[in-house]
């Protein structure tokens, strides 16, 4: 039972263009969502998060959008850079105050940004 789904295993984008990574969830109890970036042979690193009281959070080139009614969130990277090439994981938590550890991860989307 995959509660957090990233249906696109891979995405290829040209440098300078927008990258859009999508994530769907099924559990309406989730109220905190995070995106992590992972390079090969390294652990995931935190990228950006959003709580369910918001529908958008922006940090530099990264913006996360949350559509609660559709149980869908997306990560936008603009402009995309070759260094953004990595696997991106979407994660959800049932509580903002219990976000640590009790995260449900998606399968990841491998982003490739071509020069």
Partner 1 sequence: GAVVSQHPSRVICKSGTSVKIECRSLDFQATTMFWYRQFPKQSLMLMATSNEGSKATYEQGVEKDKFLINHASLTLSTLTVTSAHPEDSSFYICSARDYAANEKLFFGSGTQLSVL
Closer Cβ to partner 1, 14 or 27, answer by number: 27
Closer Cβ to partner 1, 49 or 80, answer by number: 49
DSSP state of 45: E
Residue 62 token pair = 């990264």
Residue 59 token pair = 């940090």
Closer Cβ to partner 1, 9 or 16, answer by number: 9
Closer Cβ to partner 1, 100 or 115, answer by number: 100
Of residues 49-108, those binding partner 1 (CB under 8 A): 89, 99-108
Stretch near partner 1 under the rule CB under 8 A, chosen from 2-10, 19-27, 53-61, 62-70: 2-10
* DSSP notation for 50-67: EETT-SEEEETTEEEEEE
CB atoms within 10 A of CB 36: 21
Instruction: Let me know: does 75 contact 13? Beta carbons within 8 Å.
Output: no
* Smallest distance from partner 1 to CB 13, Å: 20
Alpha-carbon distance 25 to 21, whole Å? Answer: 14
41 touches partner 1 by CB under 8 A: yes
* Smallest distance from partner 1 to CB 115, Å: 26
Q: How many CA atoms lie within 13 A of 49 on its CB side?
A: 18
**Contact residues for partner 1, defined by CB under 8 A:** 2, 4, 9, 36, 41-46, 89, 99-108
């Amino acid at each position: 039972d995959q509660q957090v789904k990233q249906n696109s295993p891979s995405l290829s984008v040209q440098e300078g263009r927008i990258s859009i990574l999508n994530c769907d969830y099924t559990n309406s109890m989730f109220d905190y969502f995070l995106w992590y970036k992972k390079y090969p042979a390294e652990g995931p690193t935190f990228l950006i998060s959003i709580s369910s009281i918001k529908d958008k959070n922006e940090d530099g080139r990264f913006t996360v959008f949350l559509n609660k009614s559709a149980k869908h969130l997306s990560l936008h990277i603009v402009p995309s850079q070759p260094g953004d090439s990595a696997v991106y994981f979407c994660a959800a938590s049932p509580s903002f105050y219990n976000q640590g550890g009790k995260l449900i991860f998606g399968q990841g989307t491998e982003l490739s940004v071509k020069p």
